[in-house]
Amino acid sequence: MKKIEKNEASTTVDIRKMIEAIKKESSDNKK
C-alpha cells in the first residue's frame, strides 16, 4: 500500500504526539 499524491476536511492530527504531551504535562503537574 503506497501513498497517493492528492488531487475531505483539512484537520488531521498526530494523536500519539498529543497523548505524549498530555501525559508529560500531567506528570509534571503532579511533581
Partner 1 sequence: MSSSVYKYSRFFHCFTHEDQVCLYNALTMETVYTTADKFEQAKCLFETGWHVGNNSILRKMFHHNMIVPKQQDEEFILKEIRKTLFSGPKIRVMVLHMTDFCDLKCKYCFIEGGQSSGYRRQVMSFETAKAAVDKFFNIIQGHETQKSPSVVFYGGEPLLNWETIKYALLDIEQKEKETGINIDKVIITNGTILNDEIIEFIKRYNIQISVSLDGIQEVNDANRIDLHGEGSFNRAVKAIKCLMGNGVTPAVSCVMAKEGIPRVDDSIRFLIEDLRIKGLGFNHVSIIPGLNFYDPAYEEQFADAILHVQDVIQRQYPFVYERRMGHKVNMFLDKLFIKSDCTGCGEQFSVSPLGEIGICQGYMGSRKTFRKTVFDSEYNPEEDPVFVEWSKRSPLNIEKCLACPALATCGGGCPRNADMINGSIWEPDSAFCHFAKKAQTWLIWRNQE
CB of 26 to partner 1, least distance (A): 8
- Contact flag: residue 18 with partner 1 (CB under 8 A): yes
CA pair distance 2, 23, nearest whole angstrom: 32
- Examine residue 22 and tell whether it contacts partner 1 (CB under 8 A): yes
Cα–Cα distance measured from residue 25 to residue 31, given in angstroms and rounded to the nearest whole number: 10
Task: Tell me which H or E stretch contains 11.
Answer: none
**Residue 31 interacts with partner 1 (CB under 8 A)?**
no
Residue numbers of the site for partner 1 (CB under 8 A)? Answer: 1-16, 18-19, 22-23, 26
